[in-house]
Structure 1
């Protein structure tokens, strides 16, 4: 009979930039993370999804699937069936323009129970089905097998029940921004206010460990991302130190570091990284000659296109299907003329290939065109094969010994293909140049601070630490020849967790 596996903590530190983590460790401000690195394995280039924004990446972490399966296209996307924008929380201004009630409904209910397909199970659902005691703190994707009623533990949560009325399905133990709490812990977050979310997670996590209430815990630490958005990537050391303090609360509840690691395996992962923003892109002005669907979705019959900015990425939807053949080339030409756009991507008219075109307006990417599709050709770092035609310099790709890779745009072919194959994605995808960002529907940006979303390595390569859990066999082999990227992806995390408990991915 096999030995019972150690309990597993999956800590997601939102936006954790490897260079900032390394500085926090070197400065002695992250002792728990330093110990995990020392006793486990540290990866400084775990690749995000594209767009490298939190909803899309969180869905990939929670399911182990890319968005061609999980269909969470971005932070802001257009719902073709309902003819409206979906907005998960770009900014308060964007939520106000699109509709706060709609935004809350999309974020809290529909994201998990409608937008994420029922046949794409989360790590909670898979482990619930295997009899593992699951738990999660405030994380975008919480869907599990256990029903939870809205919480009435605190005055603020009782006030929220005027809006949050329906139950949800989550892990066995669910604690979501005071709105849902499977038991009374005395831990509050003022409805998930930034700056208090990590503390709420630490409080709840310590309670769960102290009372032995779970075997698998998704320990969500989102405040690092907020701090970087406000102060820039170089300021992450302070927010990483705060995240480390919450991990320390877990360790203390488990009897100290040695006792805790004797009982628990740990995965710490970033959903994406952060890049410095210096200037905004005139996104809406660039498409001023088109009839754009307004934020509130009014009069959709009069709209020609829908615009969906998401920090350092954006999508454009054509709303007149019969005009796609003539509209798409116009949109491509328009996008290429917008200062600050780096790469423009779309599906070929017959659907058999993806097309990426460099802008070539003084930026680092030449104004060539690249077409590609899965097929019998060179293999990428993760072992997928591609047929590639055209200008490799568009994505700074190089081929060596039958392998194809890009240091500037890691996992570019697979990430673009998944994004363009996603049923809810736009007809045109845009990735921002270095230092640039698309303002959202509330006209908010992160100029002089940190942001993410693009295809570039700066946004996409986050930190990963694992201790007491086995890596996927193909990752243990190391990177293929011709690639500096190790091949690790956030899509590897759920398979690791499942195998740890003897569940086949």
Structure 2
């Protein structure tokens, strides 16, 4: 049985991968594509932000099961906002220490559902040697104490100093290091993270320390946020060099691929941002819960998530009166594409509305009925199909504009920690975050639109034929891994 490496290149856009390959800037990825299978429409979770998508990659489930709803969300049980680091300003609004604690510890140990297993937990239970570099989702069966090997790690230990549960070999931004190496991440600073992942992965190949390795390469996302999605060739080339570095540790690509299978994916894509949407100004007439203080007349919690947003009704007895007001407010905003909520059908239904040229359009659907989507799921659908770009032919229902739309919206709305009302931005727009930050002039993601949602999936030395599925999704990656190790 070959060892398996899963490399996640954050936000890699399929068209930019193809450009990097065509111009010779990504020879390692080109080799993997040539020897294996390449999918340019592996659909992300919704909202297509990193924590939600990372949880889907790590668990093989959607937000309805893994319960990570967004980058910024309202914790009903603790009555506070959760902020995983949308921007430095947003983290500062909620307290840097709290934001880091939520991101590093609570996301895995508290927020990620206990009812789902991560790929690390599944493989740990089967005595398969697991390893991971700095990745948002790392929960495993092995206890790790914080590292104190460097000045920066000792500083982090002073600030946090808590153990965590991860794969057998865990290297997380200098905070956790299951073995001493010469690799340093400067506490996970952008621009250094890929090199740190490549360094520790090289070390693990040289010392034969894993059967399964998650190689996290997140710097492409930061680069794309700043310079835009069409500037990704440089950052994809940098990620390619780290994959090549890992292969060289085994004697080069040919030797490496004799003993290793490889899966490469992105967690979502990105689209260009040209304008911002100010939710806080739009909801000025509501009682919006502030970042770190509460008032008796607070009515809603507002959670911008790059190109998506969620609104929570704080007093559930007021949902019937507040949800329509929230929905109308969102639909009136320039830049808002779709607004989503659960309907009143006794068996459950999703309601999606959007402002179009001839007024507000609506479509309702539920996971029951005779229409079959590209993943084989059955749906009943009523309303204006054009709102989601849905086409029906011979009981088959598809959308190229919003891939896997119904399944993704349904899972997002059924997530227990999601807001009552969800929104997706039009192409070109992004919601201002709690720090007032935006990526106008650069790139962003989060929406239901194909621009943000079509990710990359490459595999060689493992997995089925590309034709095994009409529509691939992030949640197919865990089954590929467990099948590889004979655990299905």
Name the TM tier (shorter chain).
Answer: over 0.9
Instruction: Identify the residue that residue 111 of structure 2 maps to in structure 1.
Output: 115
Matched, 1:192 2:192: no
Correspondent of 1:465 among 458, 463, 476: 458
Matched, 1:81 2:74: no
Instruction: Decide whether aligned partners of structure 1 residues 259 and 233 sit closer, same or farther in structure 2, where only a CA change above 3 A counts.
Output: same
Distance 1:284 1:135 in 2: 42
Instruction: Decide whether aligned partners of structure 1 residues 366 and 384 sit closer, same or farther in structure 2, where only a CA change above 3 A counts.
Output: farther
Residue by residue, what CA displacement relative to the aligned partner does 1:409-464 show, whole Å, maximum 9, x if unpaired? Answer: 00000000000000000000000001000010000000011100000000000111
Matches within 5 A, 1:103-502: 103-296=99-292, 298-350=293-345, 352-360=348-356, 362=357, 367-471=360-464, 476-479=467-470, 487-502=471-486
Distance 2:261 2:88 in 1: 37
Moved more, 278-287 or 195-204: 278-287
Instruction: Identify the residue that residue 484 of structure 1 maps to in structure 2.
Output: none
Instruction: Identify the residue that residue 99 of structure 1 maps to in structure 2.
Output: 95
Instruction: Identify the residue that residue 35 of structure 2 maps to in structure 1.
Output: 39
Instruction: Decide whether aligned partners of structure 1 residues 11 and 300 sit closer, same or farther in structure 2, where only a CA change above 3 A counts.
Output: farther
Moved more, 7-16 or 113-122: 113-122
* CA apart distance, 1:302: 2.7
**Unmatched 5+ stretches in structure 2:** none
Distance 1:498 1:204 in 2: 24
* CA apart distance, 1:300: 5.0
Distance 1:176 1:439 in 2: 29
SS in 1 for 2:148: coil
SS in 2 for 1:162: helix
Say if 1:76 and 1:308, in contact at 8 Å, map to a contact too: yes
Distance 2:62 2:97 in 1: 28
Distance 1:65 1:249 in 2: 31
Distance 2:452 2:360 in 1: 22
Instruction: Identify the residue that residue 482 of structure 1 maps to in structure 2.
Output: none
Distance 1:283 1:229 in 2: 20
Distance 2:62 2:482 in 1: 17
Residue by residue, what CA displacement relative to the aligned partner does 1:440-495 show, whole Å, maximum 9, x if unpaired? Answer: 00000000111000000000001111001113x7x63353xxxxxxx010000111
Aligned pairs, how many?
A: 487
**Unmatched 5+ stretches in structure 1:** 480-486
SS in 2 for 1:431: strand
Say if 2:375 and 2:469, in contact at 8 Å, map to a contact too: no
Say if 1:354 and 1:417, in contact at 8 Å, map to a contact too: yes
Instruction: Decide whether aligned partners of structure 1 residues 240 and 366 sit closer, same or farther in structure 2, where only a CA change above 3 A counts.
Output: farther
Give every structure 1 segment of 4 or more consecutive aligned residues whose post-TM-superposition deviation is greater than 2 Å: 475-479
Residue by residue, what CA displacement relative to the aligned partner does 1:56-112 show, whole Å, maximum 9, x if unpaired? Answer: 000000000000000000000000011100000100100111111210110111100
Instruction: Decide whether aligned partners of structure 1 residues 433 and 366 sit closer, same or farther in structure 2, where only a CA change above 3 A counts.
Output: farther
Instruction: Identify the residue that residue 11 of structure 1 maps to in structure 2.
Output: 7
Say if 1:366 and 1:394, in contact at 8 Å, map to a contact too: no
Scaled by the length of structure 1, the TM-score of the pair is 0.95
